[in-house]
Chain A
Amino acid sequence: MSEKLAQRNYYGKALAELASERDDVVVLDADLAGSTKTSDFQKVCPERFVEVGIAEQNMIGIAAGLAASGKVAFASTFGVFATGRCWEQIRLAVAYPRLNVKVVATHCGISVGEDGASHQALEDMAVMRALPNMTVISPADAYEAYSATKAIADYDGPVYMRMGRAEFPTVTEQGAPFTIGKATVLREGSDVTLVGCGQMVSFCLEAADMLSSEGVSAEVVNMSTIKPLDTETLLASVSKTGCCVTAEEHSIIGGLGSAVAEALSESLCAPLERIGTRDTFGESGKPDELMEKYGLTSADIAEAARKSISRRS
């Protein structure tokens, strides 16, 4: 783990590079380009940047029309608006015809902080994961946000990618290629599997350090693609450790924890503990205060690991 970087800055950097790398990439935003960092693309390629105003439903329809005309359309805004305001537009106009639209959201999770519950996307992965044809990605850090942006531009089909607002510790190697649907084992262990996505991967690594001092060997899996889930990597790890913990900055309903529970219950018998928000909205506060109040810290993950291990027969 090293410096702290904001994923959205690296999204903007990747988009700006895509402007010159590919002439078919177009970027749409709904009045939040300065925050989502699509403004970095706008600066170098204003002719392929589309400001739609505060009109997310229209943004998705326009993105679908552009994609149907051969463009790779990136549509960005905050996670709540990108997935909630226009869910049915994404369903009909993008997912059903399998059009090449990338819905890329920033400001996901409770670490959005002071803006409060209206702006904290905690259900976005659940509603996107339920859509057929949709790929769902939550990069672990800024480097992965960069490489995933390049990877989804090359992939032909609908993608939802979520990122946070704040700066997160980096946990992956800068420049490492991103493979959609492939999880990575960041730390090997034998007693418990910690599966994380987004900034929770860094907390899983911290939790693994804490557990290590107690003589517990934790394996940490970066599950940056939530759909399709890399069940092969998941099952290989949990078959070895015999118990599992998931960690996401999202509701435990419908996101990473649900996806892992579904996969495990169909294949093997192992206790699972899920770290995430528990059927609740967030509130205003400092990101760290909120992460602590809602049980999203490395200490919470370590405690869940102990519980998971104790439930293993």
Chain B
Amino acid sequence: MRDISVAELEAIANRLRIHVIEMTTAAGSGHPGGSLSAADLMAVLFFRNMNHDPSNPQWEDRDRFVLSKGHVAPVLYAALAESGYFPVEDLLTLRKMGSRLQGHPVRGKVPGVEMSTGSLGQGLSMSCGIALAGKMDGKDYKTYCLLGDGELQSGQNWEAAMFAGQYQLGNLIAIVDRNHLQITGNTEDAVGLDPLPEKWRAFKWNVIVAKGHSIRQLMEALDKAAEAHSRPTVIIMNTIKGQGVSFMENNAGFHGKACNKEEFEQAMRELKGVSE
């Protein structure tokens, strides 16, 4: 855990948002909406709570992070670059021929990317395996897994949730980005997920509900999750898809679409206005 202020983390989260918009605009595609809803969490995880060393990505005692909602690769790449895993300039190569920054994260291509993801519903199972290995080996590392809310419609998540409860993976922390939006619209109009806390509790998990755009609440939630538990912990963070850019907020249209020139300029005005 690093000693860092709320204001500093807010500034980092804002930088991550700027990177996300710049990267996806340069690529002409990508997933800005869900990247922005997770930006505050990524700032707190990578710059405060997670025990990791960008100069030694294979350090065996590092905390692990698995991005189950792999389509928000831009915010992961931004967090890794800002952490020092690779140069920030590389971010603008996202989705381009020859770039290691593939449209969805690939293990082995980018330092700091633990698992290949992009097909939804698989990250929690992978995280169970990593957490189980930690228990077998007597290691103290934590495994963090960021899930989208829409992907919880996929049954494999609940196989993994059942498994983690059964095997008492207290070293596993899942975070659900509860922004209520998937491609078709509101998750509750597609195949509803509510009541989420009750579902996880029924699968033998600790449940913490937090505001996903409150750095202070995220800090408290992650601190609490990292305490010694016999049960796995899920943080359901209530978020706004597209948070930080007015015309993207709560707009499912920006799930998987980049800004045009005018939109980009407005987004930059809004985000840089905050950081300046």
Contact = CB atoms under 8 A, between A and B. Distances in A.
Interface string A59-83: 0111111111111010000000000
B160 interface: yes
Contacts, number: 101
A53 B162 contact: yes
Contacts of A66: 129-130, 132-133
Interface residues of B, number: 32
Contacts of B155: 57
Max chain B Cβ within 10 angstroms of own Cβ: one of A26, A61, A64: A61
Contact of B126 (A47, A88, A93): A93
B129 A96 contact: no
Interface string B152-174: 00011001101100100000000
Contact of B129 (A48, A55, A61, A97): A61
B48 to A, nearest CB: 24
B198 to A, nearest CB: 22
B133 A70 contact: yes
Contacts of A97: 106-108, 115-116
Interface string B82-119: 00000000000000000000000011100000111111
A174 interface: no
B114 A58 contact: no
B125 A92 contact: no
B134 interface: yes
B79 interface: no
Nearest to A101: B129
Nearest to A67: B129
A58 B163 contact: yes
A265 B97 CA distance: 34
Contact of B160 (A61, A63, A70): A61
A89 interface: yes
B179 interface: no
Given A52-B163, A61-B156, A62-B163, A92 B119 contact: yes
Contact of A62 (B60, B106, B107, B128): B128
Max chain A Cβ within 10 angstroms of own Cβ: one of B127, B128, B129, B162: B129
Interface string B210-227: 000000000000000000
Given A57-B159, A66-B129, A92 B108 contact: no
Nearest to A70: B133
B109 to A, nearest CB: 9
B64 to A, nearest CB: 8
Given A55-B163, A58-B160, A93-B115, A50 B132 contact: yes
A58 B156 contact: yes
B116 A96 contact: yes
A165 interface: no
A207 to B, nearest CB: 44
Contacts of A60: 125
Contacts of A64: 115, 125-126, 129
B138 to A, nearest CB: 11
B125 A68 contact: no
Contacts of B122: 57, 61, 89, 92-93
B156 A65 contact: no
A73 B128 CA distance: 14
A89 to B, nearest CB: 6
Contacts of B162: 53, 55
A62 B129 contact: yes
A52 B122 CA distance: 15
B191 interface: no
A58 B119 contact: no
A98 interface: yes
Contacts of A50: 132
Contacts of A93: 115-116, 122, 125-126
B136 interface: yes
A148 B162 CA distance: 34
Contacts of A63: 129
The 7 A-B residue pairs whose C-beta atoms are closest, nearest first, are A65-B129, A61-B125, A69-B133, A58-B159, A55-B159, A62-B129, A97-B107
Interface of B: 60, 106-108, 114-119, 122-134, 136-137, 155-156, 159-160, 162-163, 166
Given A61-B125, A64-B115, A97-B116, 20 more contacts: A47-B136, A48-B136, A52-B159, A55-B156, A57-B122, A61-B124, A62-B128, A65-B132, A66-B133, A68-B130, A69-B129, A71-B136, A88-B119, A92-B116, A93-B115, A93-B125, A93-B126, A96-B116, A97-B107, A98-B108
